[in-house]
Each structure stands twice: as C-alpha cells, then as structure tokens.
Structure 1
Amino acid sequence: MADLFADHDLAPPPAPDAPLADRLRPKQLDEVVGQEHLTGPDGAIGRMVAAGRLSSVILWGPPGTGKTSIARLLADAVGLRFVAISAVFSGVADLKRAFAEARDHARSGRRTLLFVDEIHRFNRAQQDGFLPYVEDGTVTLIGATTENPSFELNAALLSRAQVLILHRLDAAALNKLLDRAEAEVGRPLPLTAEARDALVASADGDGRFLLNQVETLYSVELAEPLDARGLSSFLQRRVPVYDKDREGHYNLISALHKSIRGSDPQAALYYLARMLTAGEEPLYVLRRLVRAAVEDVGLADPQALQQCLLAKDAYDFLGSPEGELAIAQACLYLATAPKSNSAYAAQKAAWKCARETGSLMPPMNIVNAPTKLMRDAGYGQGYEYDHDAEGGFSGADYWPDDLPPQTFYTPTDRGHEKRVAERIAWWEEMRNAKRR
C-alpha cells in the first residue's frame, strides 16, 4: 500500500533487509509482469510513454497485480514528480496539501503525478474535489481501485480519466516472480516441483501475496524441500495440490460448472470432491456455485440462489470438514434443478441496449415529481397507479419516447419460469387490448 503522503523523488532504494516484495519492485515498465496488454508497445500505457504524454488514469484490478508499481514507473518514464497517498488513511487536509504542493511545483515547471491508492474509498464529495486540479493540469491523477469504477467513482471523474483494467497474474507471471525471488535471495525455493505449482495456484493471481509466502519459506532452514502437503502444513493454509500437467484449478472449476449446467449431479459431485480434497478454498467454490445459480438455473428455480447463500452461511458456521456437506448439498441442488439462462441472456441484452441508447429520458408520466415546479412542468402527469387498476395492471407504456418496447427476457417453459411465462403472456395480452 502507498504511504499516507510520500514524494518518491526523494525515496532511497529498498534496504537489503527490506521485505522481499519491496526489493523486487520493478525498476522499469518492461519488468512489470502479467500486464503486457497495457505496458507493451501497443498497450495504452506503452503508447503514452512513447508519446511522452500521460493522461489521468484509473487502474482497476485485483490486489497484487502491480498498480502501485505501474504508477511509480509512469512518473519516472515521463519525468513527473511522484506523490502517493492512500484513501484509507488520508483526509481532506492531506488532499489540500497535496494539491497546494503540486501547484507550487507546477510554477517552477515540474508537474506532479498524484497516485491515490484505494481511490474508491473517497466519498463522492471528496472525489469531486479532484476535478479542478485534474482539469487545469495541476496534477495528473493515477487512481488505483479493486472495485468496479462504474459503481464506485463519480461519472464526472470517470469522464476525465481513462480506465485501464489489470489482469490477475497468471501462472507464467507468478513463476517469473518466483524466479526473480530465487535470484534475489541466491538460492532455490525449498519446494518440490509439485509444491511450487501448488504455491503458485494458492496465490490466486496476487503477486504480493505470493512473495510474502516466499519470504516466509526463506525465513527458516528446512532439512529437505517441502512437498505440497508439507507446504500446506508449513504455511497453515490449505494449498491446492494439482497435477504437474496443470489439470488443476481452472480446469476443475470449469468442469464443475459445466457438469452442473449439464444436469449431471454425479459428475458435479466428483469435481467438487476433486477440488475440496485437493485443498481448494471452499469459499472459492461457493462463489462459483452462486454464479451457476444465477447464470444457469436462474428463475427456473429461484430457490437455487438461496440454497447457495445458505450453504455459505452453514460453512462459515461449521467450518471444515462438517461445513463441506452444505457445499455438496448446494452443488447437488444446482445440478438437479431445472435450468434457464434467460435471466443471464436478458441482462446482457439490456446492458447492450443501455450502452447503445445513451441517456434517454423516461416518459414524463413515470418520472419523479417532488416539487411543485416539476409538477407544473408536467413531471408525473398522467401516471396510472397499477394497484388501483382492474386486476392490479394498468398496461401503461414505460419506455422512453424514442425507444420502442424491447424484449430482453424470454422465460423458458421449465420449472418456475413456466408460470412466469404465463403471467408475462397474460400481461402482454392486456397491453395489446388496451392499445386497440
């Protein structure tokens, strides 16, 4: 995490006894692993550096993927003063001081790159405070967030910054970090090949976590290299044991999900057992089961989602191994439930339409009218309260004037959705009758 308030122009190189993750921080952009789609010659960052001009950027990605390193190296690459603050620890006074110092440096011809870690933790008013300083060039803002910027950052701030998505580090990138760690320490990791693969899998794409685990391994003298089971015991963390041919983490979770989708409870239970007995994190499996509930079962059986969330609560309450029975029950429920991806397909179609149609105004009869001025202007005029209509259904038109009614959701004839389809058909018949 970035310091509370730090000007890294003056920061010395890491001390020999500094944490391994600090000693292995990349010294130039081409040393950043796993983000070549951004840092390479054709990537957004690569093009900015080649042009010598840097725009404000929001770096969005999982923990331990290089957001802080990229920001620091960008400042070096284009000759900007680098200042880092953390939204977790900083307040309005810190921001004002950062902007004031940036303005002073700008007068002497030195522009500032302001790196804000966990930028989504600033509230909306604090985010608005960045706008004038970004617009007038006092600072070039580099924000880092693990949360979806569309939900967590102001639209005004997003419109002034380019969002760049960082990928979780894959096995190749994580193995590069292990190679660098071995070179830095001067000796190989005390692990068998199988245990090394398990260590990489356990990091789940987080390079910082991986290097912290490596530092723990190097902190003690081991009589012989650890195997995967010994590694799990040593780190006090369940480490997935996967075959050297890498038929592991991603192949097995894919097989589990597709067995559920294909309504094969026996195969689904087998792949669930493969993962949990190998030491996979149960919460990782539960997250995938929740996804399968909404993506592949959906409204054909609305209880499927509830079953998965209850399984998560049961596992939290019981722990392993007893709680794993609740996970198995949720898995079997999903595999034996009627299937529908109608809600999933509807969501994708609706999102696509929303992006393409922009900011169309809803019809005036259904917009909010909290003030007399708005009511006098016609807001809310003509709204029909459905509960007062015959059958509790008014049949009103709820679509923007410039967008004809669309069909995103088409329920199947399976499970609960069969009844939903009947209700939708009845409502459509009533609407058509009203139009006539």
Structure 2
Amino acid sequence: MSLNYSAAHSSRITKKRTSTLKRSTSSPFATLARRQPIQRSKSKPEPSTYDDEDRFDQGLQDLGIVTTLVPHLPLKGVVEVVQYANSSMFEPMPERGGFSSTRIAEILNFRKSLPTTATVAHVHALSKSPTVTEKEIAQLAGANVLRKFIVPGRGTGASTVSESLVLFTDLETMLDRAEAVDATLKEKLLQHLRSQPLAQNISAASFHPSEISSLKRAGFLTSSIPRTNPSTHPTISSTHSTSLSTISRAASGSLAAVGGSAAIVEAGGTLGLRRSSAQYESPSPADRASDLQLGLPNTGPYLRLLTDARTHLISLIHQSGSFREMPMYLLRERWDGGTAGNDPVARAKKLRGEFAGVLPAKTRKWKHFWGMTFGWVLAECVGSGMVELFETGSVGLGVRVP
C-alpha cells in the first residue's frame, strides 16, 4: 500500500458549489413570462387641448357687425384721417431686427419714394358716416385743402384702389422734391391746379411740349388714351367677329390665329400702342390736342404694394378654416410673423439680451411689405368691403371674409 493513497481520493461525497456571480432580484414580477406590447388602434385620435393655432372649424360667436374703426381711433375730420393714414402705414425700424445696413437703407428709401396719399376706402374705414365723409371731401377739394386723384382700371366695385386723396400741402412737398421740374413749371402747375380744384384732366394746350415731357418724367402727368369704339374704328367692323371656324383656318403664329384685332377690343382692350421714351420728348399733335391725366410719382409701386398686402391678409384668414373667420389678435400675430410681442415678459427678455420669437428681418411683413402695420392693411380691407369685423363677446373682435 502506497503512502500517497488517502481516503480523500476514494470519497464519493461531493460539495455543492454556489456561483458568486448570480444575483437575486427584488422585483416580484421577475418570474412572470414576458409578453408583447398591445398594439392600440390609431383610428381614434387622442384628445388634445385647445390651441390658438387650431383651425376655427366651429365658427365664432357673432354679436353684431362693427362697420368702422372709429371707436378705437379718436380722429376728427378727413384731414386728420389722411394724416393718420400716411403716418401709420409703416412701423419704425426695430433696434434688433436682424437687418443689415444695406437692407435698412433700402427700406427707408422705398418708404420715402412712395406718395403721401390715402385711398378713399381707407378714409371711410376710419370715418363714422360715409355720406358725411363724401360731403366733407367735396368741400375740402373745392377749397384746395386736398385733392382727389383717380387711376382708371385699378379694381372694380368697392374693392377699387383707384381713388386716393392727397393734402394740397403734401402735393406741394412732392413737387418741391421733383428735381426734373424747374421752379417756374412747378408754380405754373400749382396755379393750374388751384384754378381747377375738381378737375382730373389737364388740357395739353395749356403747357408747352417740353413742359409736358418734364411733368411726365416726374410722374405728375400721364397720357389719357380714350377707349376705342369697335364700331367706329376704320379697320374693325361688325363682320370681324371672332369664331372658331375663322381661327382654325388661320395660319399658325398670325394675328388671326388668336382672334384678330377685334378680339382685343371685344375683351375690353384698346388699340393704342406703347410709346418709347424718345416719343415723350416730342408729343404728337394728337397728344397736344387731347387731355392729360393727373398723377402722382411712384403711384404704380404704391398700388402694387397695397393690392399685395390686401391679398396676403385675405389668404391668412382663408387658412383659419371653412368659416373664413378668426380673432383679430390671432390675425395680427400671423401678420407680424410670430415676432416677439411688447408684453412685460418679452420686454424683460430683451433687457437681458434674450429674444423669444422670430427676427423681424425673417418675416414676410418686412421682406415683402417693408414693415407695413397690421392696422393699416386692416383698414384698407374693411373700407373696401373685403373683410368685416364683428363682436365675439369672448375673444374680442373677429375678422371675417364675407
């Protein structure tokens, strides 16, 4: 028997080994079987709280139509209304608006170039009675306090933008700024306007051809081309009616293929040709014998800005829902583009150097409308009948597209 043999090698008793890496859990749900999460149906939307940006599909409560903005603006007389309309068209440049120096100069120069005028629709929106306002306009125009200018072919019905009012003092200021007109011609034009306070046209025989050219370049006169009558035109008669059979037999690319010259007149156009700048230097005898239309410098950009602002405001209301109405305060926020307000919280953030909202330079209000105020474009739409105001009783005034 070997001395190395011991009972340890022959023992059949084994010890149970426990792993020190196994940890026990304290959760009572550890032994339960795992299941897949339940897939809920998405057919029913989850309920959400009311938000100002929601669409107003239920409509607002109507407690009565508001026909004028006078209760909110203590204005007396047409002269004060015109002055207020000229001074409230644009907002002052914000201190921290994100504008470059070039853009600031562009905005200020554009504003300065526009005529200081107010449409008749704007004046009616800020007046109490249309009848009293029209009588006062006629009296002030006869006394050379203000003058009415008409641009034909700019809108129809109540939404027209063709009639505007200008204070005579503002007209004198615009004439003084016209560098293309000498002092003698300025005084001659003013005397002619004072002698005919209600006239819209000026006889071309009253001015020399060179004077007419200077006033046209400055924008104070335009050619007045009468509408041509198709029945009296030598090249157009009743036999030249537009028909599909005549157009189909015409050569491609010719005037007859689009209906001929009669189609232009039947559609409401005229047969007058556009003139070049060289022809303005020496007016034809027909121009000297006809009347000239009075105008204001940069009337085209002014009316284009006005019509675009109206259209944009109407589109904002159409986005509110099928009722085409929304509270005025929410419409103002959408016109401003979500910029920071003037409440105490926003002012406190500005003092701390913080800014909560969109920079004005990034909004459509400043990109396309040069900082036009909401109240100004709203008065234009109310006076022209494009929108109407009504009392809601809960959220202030409402704005509706009729």
How does the TM-score come out when normalised to structure 2? Answer: 0.21
Query: Which one has the bigger helix percentage?
Result: 1
Give the alignment's TM-score, normalised by structure 1: 0.20
Q: Which has the larger radius of gyration?
A: 2
